[in-house]
Amino acid sequence: MKPFWNLHDIFKRISVVNLHHNLNKITMKNIFNYLAILSLFAFNACGQSTKQTALTPKSSPMENTISKPGNPYYSNTDTKKLNVTDAEWKKVLSPDLYAVSRNADTERAFTGKLWDSEAKGTYYCAACGNKLFKSDQKFASSCGWPSFFEQENKNSVVYKEDNSYGMKRIEALCGRCDGHLGHLFDDGPKPTGKRYCMNSIALDFVPDNATIQNGTKDNLETITLGGGCYWCTEAVYEKLDGVQSVVSGFAGGKNENPTYEEVCTGRTGHAEVVKITYDKTKTNLDEIFQVFFTVHDPTTLNRQGADVGTQYRSVIFYKDEEQKQAAQSIISQLNTEKVYDNPIVTTLEPLTKFYVAEDYHQNYYENNKNQQYCQMVIQPKIEKFEKIFKARLKK
């Protein structure tokens, strides 16, 4: 497959877009200084906040199975009862899902993605993947939460008495993980007369007849890249046509199964990276690299803006000689053409092991668009990408 862009043209476009977005050195310095001040109140090294808002569960419609690599307890087929500690649930669930599933919090009415959905498919527990309801068991309700008149099977949902807030109610729990789903009421439609009033965030949904849309297995390839905070890199590549999936994680370190907190110390040797799976019939390695060198600064050693440390290094983890040579070629060309004022410091490292980051790091931008870090740092990168690669965006 031929390159989609001429390098000279694409980096000419970069300089123009930089002006449009005020991403010159002076402006970026001001942004970074502001971020440093904000960090006193809300951010750590990567701007991560422990509070997430407007969480949108991300489903992967492949053979009616959802993939949650950051949650080892998640399965759409295993019905064996789980016995997981609260501390472990807190580690693998997003903060919002943890609050509902483990602390029985309730999302605000009419805010959930699924409350008025009429799509045909299957509903699963968002915490453990247990099958709960089918869409033909759902009915239109004015309460503001997804409502069902019947559960998928007799073991999918279990109950206990709930006397909180001075009320006597029946709490509905996932039959596999005992996670809070909502409540059961006796004001539903026939034939059961029941209303399973569920929190939308506690549910995952997979449409019927879901198939792999982005190519066959033989056409798929992967590449692992580190360009600073993985939230930024993930958000950009999710919009590139031909990219099937982007998973945030860690690579290049000495510790097995590192946690985010461990990597943040800078002592494990890992870099924040994304593993990109793409369809070779729709994009190619050349374009993947062009995007990579467009949306981050490959000339700053162990740093991207306000994010400082070896975990934020610019790095390409190659899995074979072809990827290594392709990376060497584009770096050599960029240096020769003096596209940047300073030499590129991107390292090329063999990929030995990729570790998936915690679940709440996945799809972070989509789930937290109102966060200041998302608005001030990630959004400008996305806008820059969308202008330069306008013709290559997913439809």
Q: Give 22-34 as a DSSP string.
A: T-SHHHHHHHHHH
* Whether pLDDT at 143 is above 90: yes
* Residue % of the chain over a pLDDT of 70: 81
Q: Is 170 in a helix, a strand, or coil? A: strand
Closest to 240 in 3D by CA, of 274, 273, 211, 276:
276
Per-residue pLDDT tens digits for 198-252 = 999 999 998 876 544 434 567 889 999 999 999 999 999 999 999 989 999 999 9
Q: Are 52 and 96 in contact (CB under 8 A)?
A: yes
Mean pLDDT of all residues belonging to the chain? 83
Per-residue pLDDT tens digits for 321-361 = 999 999 999 999 999 999 999 999 999 999 999 999 998 89
- pLDDT recorded at residue 23: 35
Closest to 390 in 3D by CA, of 281, 246, 285, 294:
294
* Residue % of the chain over a pLDDT of 90: 68
- Identify the band that residue 113 occupies on the pLDDT scale cut at 50, 70 and 90: confident
- pLDDT recorded at residue 40: 34
* Whole-prediction pTM: 0.53
- Could you give the C-alpha distances from 313 to 163, 310, 376, in angstroms and in order? 52, 5, 21
The residues annotated as belonging to the active site are: 197, 229
- pLDDT recorded at residue 208: 78
- pLDDT recorded at residue 251: 96
Which tokens is 262 given? 């461990």
Q: Tell me the domains of the chain and their CATH numbers.
A: 7-50+212-392 (3.30.1060.10), 86-207 (2.170.150.20)
Q: Are 52 and 94 in contact (CB under 8 A)?
A: yes
Q: How many CA atoms lie within 13 A of 260 on its CB side?
A: 22
Number of helices (H), then strands (E), in the chain: 11, 16
Rounded mean pLDDT of 97-102? 96
Other C-beta atoms closer than 10 Å to the C-beta of 37 total: 9
- pLDDT recorded at residue 36: 39
Closest to 76 in 3D by CA, of 92, 67, 65:
65
Question: Any bridge partners for residue 249, and if so which?
Answer: 273, 356
- pLDDT recorded at residue 241: 92
Least confident of 34-38, 72-76, 124-128, 293-297: 34-38
Q: How many CA atoms lie within 13 A of 373 on its CB side?
A: 29
* Whether pLDDT at 289 is above 50: yes
Least confident of 3-12, 19-28, 105-114, 375-384: 19-28
- pLDDT recorded at residue 216: 55
Rounded mean pLDDT of 77-92? 93
Rounded mean pLDDT of 44-61? 36
- pLDDT recorded at residue 64: 37
- Identify the band that residue 69 occupies on the pLDDT scale cut at 50, 70 and 90: confident
